[in-house]
């Protein structure tokens, strides 16, 4: 058995001081400890097991606390669990919960609450859209429980006593500790959920174990939370009130930031250079764990031309990523030549050949490949590119159309509404489709598993060598070697055109401190934030 | 008259039923569903969701269950997208908001629009007329999605007088009302002006003037009432579309009204919310076209039902 927090390379935890960020020397706290952040849309729910949105997770992370939290760089640190042990077969995790953890109603947080919660997530009766997360975590019997073939009680999670939680996995999962920082693994209070039914998330009824309690929630207007005096680390929580304001228009949100109504807001595409010049202390651009790409449909019903790897390579080479990043987005995004985001923890960027060529070289190579594949002026290649309604997707698609003109390829643009787009991608009714993938956890497999034969893989790419590498990565001491090799295969087979890797481009008021700028997941904990006197 | 109203209500019920069935079918015909998302759901999870919301029943049974829920319990079902809210709760939270700014916008639009129209008609081809017509054309061509961000820019950022959005006391109502009422006001002013001009040229006004009535009386007692007839037929549907809100106003001012919910529910395939708001708008439309017809009879003695 290894006590991970004490002994392994992660060296986290027990010996570390309190985690709440404290003002640095010379910083004086402001009187007003209220943090107001921007929400683009109405919050679907504050139920950790029914939420599916990033913004919902941001709220849930304040109201609830999982087994582990993330530090400023995204590495797992103790949350409700102070430490965990891993069995020698790497398939059993034993979490030790802190005895002082409490629910906001004063009840102790016990291991049984986690058992109830994880069973609830997987239980078909809950009909959670994130039930698959239990399967992704490889928790024993998760798939059978989700399918209704086994009872929720048979899920591989047990409480040995009130403060010891044992999780059994079906296969070694090196990134498992990172997955339990995900909001869908957070505990709910069994008594409250059973008593209140679907209404338990309403203000006044909601009981959480996070650093904040829900004060009010007007759907699509605002949600506000106050510091939770029953939180085990409340003494180190500085921020008293947090408030999320919904503003459906990014430009109006920016105006309201400038009018002082918001403390953090996203910068609309193309405005970063100007704002960075005007307020260098407030405009930030930090890596964000998503990759933007065009997928090729490689299914039997897909276009013949795209089954030829030379055509796919030609199309990828001719994509002028620098123009997309520097002329259209202008927010510090990086051109992508591979699938996994460069800033994912531990990921070693592969040495992709065409990334090092100049655009002129790429174009030349692309023309040669296309000619080799039999396409040219007398037999022009015609393809359709489908994207969903959005100003930026449109700009990039129009630019792509121009890039491909230089190659003699005619691209027809097909703009459809979001649901239609998604539906067609999933049913394979497309030729080239816009796509983006965001990490579920801070590890490269969240990207690479996508292209496994059994993965989500809307274009139905399949390569046994790739699958084998990904299988090996699960039990490997250092899976990053397999990940880098897997990326090389993707660059050879080119089932997609990677276009750019995201950056989070935001304005943050300069007296707000403690928001993480190095966590590629961009998960934040209000308990770590404080406002200083100007 | 009473019999007429009863007959109209009797016709309204099958009309609403037809509305429900047609919208239900159209909605289900659209590609994708409430649970279609970027990451395809595993089949068993999708099956669980469909079972929970009754989407695995045949369509006819879904419609029957839905209508029965409304008739028997006044229950419009659970939202598919907001799992801890029912359609009744969403409408109960959003409708008072749009009702408030909608009714105020209506009052403002009618008051300003009719006054502008009447003044312009009486002083036809004077500078007042040109000013009124110019203003109303300006208001008409300035769409609210342009006006809303400008209002926020001016009143929130530059002047700092009003909050840039949200919902609460009267201070939050001002910008939504301005954005909502302007184009309606412009239409009302134009309709009033042209109809007033027509009435002012008619025989009974000449008679009224010939018998020596003062101009004020001629306008208020004899011209205004008939001149308002076309305005009123415009006001019925305008009132409904104002109190059921506008997606633009809800979006730019974060009011939380049902205008935004309506569009969102269509895009999200939140079947139940979309049906709920469709029925609300449908019922209100039917109700207010009836009100308009009754008003007609009151204004124009020639009309008898």
Map A160-178 to HEC letters: EECCEEEEEECCCCCCHHH
Q: Could you give the dihedral angle defined by the CA atoms of residues A23, A26, A29 and A30, in that order, rounded to the nearest 10 degrees? A: -140
Give the pLDDT score at B279: 93
Average pLDDT value for residue range B162-186: 93
Cβ of residue A199 closer than 8 Å to a chain B Cβ: yes
Q: Is A196 an 8 Å CB contact of chain B? A: no
Q: Tell whether A255 lies on the interface with B, counting CB pairs under 8 A.
A: yes
- Partners of residue B32 in chain A, C-beta under 8 Å: 419-420, 422-423
pLDDT of residue A22: 67
Residue A534: what pLDDT? Answer: 82
pLDDT > 80? residue A19: no
Average the pLDDT over B51-69 and give the result: 90
For an interface test with A, give the residue of B53, B163, B164 to mutate (most A CBs within 10 A).
B164
Q: Which among A219, A222, A426 is the nearest to B85, CB-wise? A: A219
Tell me the C-alpha distance between B89 and B82, whole Å: 11
**Among B165, B256, B260, whose Cβ lies nearest the Cβ of A256?**
B165
Looking at residue A21, its pLDDT comes to 55
Q: Do the Cβ atoms of B93 and A219 come within 8 Å? A: yes
- pLDDT of A16 reads 42
Q: What is the DSSP string of A286-301?
A: EEEEEEEEEEE--STT
For residue A404, which of A299, A332, A492, A323 has the smallest C-alpha distance? Answer: A323
User: A259–B157: do the CB atoms touch at under 8 Å?
Assistant: yes
- For A76, counting Cβ atoms within 10 Å of its Cβ (0-12 exposed, 13-18 middle, 19+ buried), the class is buried
Instruction: Give tens-digit pLDDT for A357-392.
Output: 999 999 999 999 999 999 988 899 999 999 999 989
pLDDT band at A13 (very low <50, low <70, confident <90, very high): very low
ipTM comes to 0.85
Residue A419 has its nearest CB partner, among B31, B85, B254, at B31
Mean pLDDT in residue range B255-266 = 91
Per-residue confidence (pLDDT) for residue A517, from 0 to 100: 87
pLDDT band at A338 (very low <50, low <70, confident <90, very high): very high
Q: B287: exposed, middle or buried (C-beta count within 10 Å: 0-12, 13-18, 19+)?
A: middle
Residue A431 has pLDDT above 80, yes or no: yes
Higher-confidence residue: A237 or B135?
A: A237
Chain A residue nearest residue B167, CA to CA: A221
Percent of chain B residues topping a pLDDT of 90: 51
- Find chain A residues with C-beta within 8 A of B42's C-beta: 131-132, 135, 146
B197-231 tens-digit pLDDT: 999 989 999 999 999 889 888 888 889 888 988 89
pLDDT surpassing 90 at residue A15? no
Please tell me the pTM assigned to this model.
0.88
For residue A11, pLDDT beyond 50: no
Determine the number of helices (DSSP H) and then strands (DSSP E) in chain B: 14, 0
Q: Looking at CA atoms only, how far is residue B115 from chain A in angstroms?
A: 33
Residue B156 at interface with chain A, using a CB cutoff of 8 Å: yes
| Chain A CB within 8 Å of residue B166 CB | yes
Q: DSSP label at B199? A: H
Residues 124-183, chain A, touching B (beta carbon < 8 A): 124-125, 127-129, 131-132, 135, 143, 146-148
The predicted-structure confidence for A244-291, as pLDDT tens digits, reads as follows 999 988 999 999 999 999 999 999 988 999 999 999 999 999 999 999
User: Would you say A493 and A509 are in contact if contact means Cβ atoms under 8 Å apart?
Assistant: no
Average pLDDT of chain A, as a whole number:
92
Positions of E strands within chain B: none
Would you call B83 an interface residue with chain A, using a CB distance cutoff of 8 Å? yes
Q: How far apart are the first and last CA of chain B?
A: 6
Q: Which two tokens stand for residue A387?
A: 């994207």
Q: Is the pLDDT of residue B136 over 90?
A: no
A414 touches chain B (CB under 8 A): no
Checking if the pLDDT of B238 tops 70, the result is yes
pLDDT tens, position by position, A387-404: 999 989 999 999 999 999
Among A181-195, A514-528, B69-83, name the most confident range: A181-195
**Residues A408, A398: Cα–Cα separation, whole Å:** 15
Average pLDDT over residues B53-79: 91
Provide the number of CB pairs (under 8 Å) joining chain A to chain B.
Answer: 144
Mean confidence (pLDDT) of chain B:
90
Question: In this predicted model, what pLDDT tens digit does every residue of A307-318 receive, in sequence order?
Answer: 999 999 999 999
Percent share of chain A, pLDDT over 70: 96
Q: Is B259 on the interface with A (CB under 8 A)?
A: no
């Amino acid at each position: 058995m290894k006590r991970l927090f004490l002994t392994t390379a992660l060296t986290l935890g027990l010996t570390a001081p309190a985690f709440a960020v404290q003002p640095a020397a010379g910083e004086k706290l402001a009187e007003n400890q209220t943090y107001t952040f921007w929400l683009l849309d109405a919050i679907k729910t504050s139920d950790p097991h029914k939420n599916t949105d990033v913004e919902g997770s941001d709220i849930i992370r304040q109201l609830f606390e999982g087994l582990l939290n993330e530090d400023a760089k995204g590495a797992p640190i103790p949350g409700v669990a102070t430490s965990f042990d891993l069995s020698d077969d790497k398939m059993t995790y034993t979490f030790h919960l802190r005895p002082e953890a409490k629910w906001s109603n004063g009840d102790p947080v016990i291991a049984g609450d986690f058992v109830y919660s994880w069973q609830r997530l997987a239980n078909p009766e809950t009909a959670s859209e994130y039930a698959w997360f239990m399967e992704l975590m490889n928790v024993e019997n998760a798939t059978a429980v989700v399918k209704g073939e086994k009872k929720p009680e048979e899920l591989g999670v047990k409480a040995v006593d009130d403060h010891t939680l044992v999780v059994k996995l079906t296969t070694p999962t090196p990134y498992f500790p990172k997955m339990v920082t995900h909001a869908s693994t957070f505990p709910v209070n069994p008594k409250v959920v059973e008593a209140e039914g679907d209404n338990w998330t309403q203000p006044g009824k909601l009981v959480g174990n996070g650093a904040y309690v829900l004060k009010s929630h007007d759907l699509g207007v605002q949600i506000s939370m106050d510091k939770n005096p029953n939180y085990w680390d409340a003494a180190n929580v500085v921020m008293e009130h947090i408030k999320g304001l919904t503003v459906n228009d990014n430009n109006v949100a920016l105006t309201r930031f400038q009018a002082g109504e918001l403390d953090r807001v996203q910068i609309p595409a193309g405005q970063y250079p100007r704002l960075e010049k005007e307020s260098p202390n407030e405009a930030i651009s930090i890596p964000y764990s998503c990759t933007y790409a065009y997928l090729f449909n490689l299914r039997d019903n897909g276009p013949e031309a795209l089954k030829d790897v030379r055509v796919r390579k030609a199309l990828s080479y001719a994509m002028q990523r620098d123009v997309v990043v520097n002329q259209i987005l202008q927010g510090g995004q990086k051109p992508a030549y591979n699938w996994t985001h460069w800033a994912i923890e531990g990921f070693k960027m592969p040495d992709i050949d065409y990334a090092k060529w100049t655009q002129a070289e790429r174009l030349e190579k692309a023309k040669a490949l296309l000619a080799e594949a039999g396409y040219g002026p007398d037999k022009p290649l015609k393809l359709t590119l489908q994207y969903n309604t959005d100003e930026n997707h449109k700009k990039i698609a129009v630019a792509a159309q121009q890039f491909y003109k230089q190659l003699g390829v005619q691209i027809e643009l097909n703009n459809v509404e979001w649901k239609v787009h998604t539906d067609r991608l999933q049913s394979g009714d497309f030729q080239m489709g816009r796509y983006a993938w965001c990490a579920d956890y801070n590890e490269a497999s969240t990207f690479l598993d996508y292209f496994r034969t059994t993965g989500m893989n809307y274009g139905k790419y399949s390569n046994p060598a790739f699958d084998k590498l990904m299988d090996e990565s699960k039990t490997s001491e250092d899976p990053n070697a397999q990940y880098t090799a897997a990326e090389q295969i993707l660059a050879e087979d080119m089932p997609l055109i990677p276009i750019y890797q995201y950056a989070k481009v935001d304005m943050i008021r300069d007296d707000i401190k403690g928001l993480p700028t190095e966590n590629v997941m961009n998960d934040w904990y209000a308990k770590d934030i404080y406002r200083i006197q100007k | 008259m009473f019999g007429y109203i009863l007959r109209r209500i009797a016709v309204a019920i099958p009309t609403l039923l037809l509305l429900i069935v047609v919208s239900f079918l159209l909605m289900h015909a659209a590609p994708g569903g409430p649970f279609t998302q970027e990451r395809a759901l595993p089949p068993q999870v999708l099956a669980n969701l469909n079972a929970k919301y009754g989407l695995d029943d045949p369509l006819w049974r879904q419609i029957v269950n839905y209508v029965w829920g409304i008739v028997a319990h006044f229950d419009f079902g659970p939202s598919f997208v907001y799992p801890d809210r029912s359609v009744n709760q969403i409408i109960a939270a959003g409708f008072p908001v749009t009702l408030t700014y909608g009714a105020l916008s209506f009052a403002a639009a009618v008051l300003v629009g009719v006054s502008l129209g009447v003044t312009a008609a009486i002083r036809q081809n004077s500078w007042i007329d040109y000013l009124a017509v110019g203003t109303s054309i300006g208001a008409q061509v300035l769409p609210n999605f342009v006006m809303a961000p400008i209002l926020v820019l001016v009143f929130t950022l530059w002047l700092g007088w009003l909050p840039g959005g949200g919902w609460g006391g009267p201070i939050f109502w001002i910008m939504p009302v301005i954005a909502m009422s302007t184009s309606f006001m412009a239409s009302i002013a134009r309709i009033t002006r042209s109809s007033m001009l027509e009435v002012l040229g008619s025989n009974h006004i000449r008679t009224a003037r010939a018998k020596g009535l003062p101009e004020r009386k001629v306008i208020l007692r004899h011209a205004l009432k008939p001149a308002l007839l076309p305005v009123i037929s415009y006001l019925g549907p305008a009132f409904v579309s104002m109190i059921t809100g506008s997606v633009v106003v809800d979006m730019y001012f974060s009011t939380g009204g049902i205008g935004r919910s309506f569009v969102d529910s269509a895009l999200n395939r939140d079947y139940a919310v979309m049906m709920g708001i469709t029925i609300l708008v449908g019922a209100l439309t039917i109700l207010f076209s009836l009100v308009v017809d009754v008003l007609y009879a009151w204004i124009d003695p020639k009309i008898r039902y």
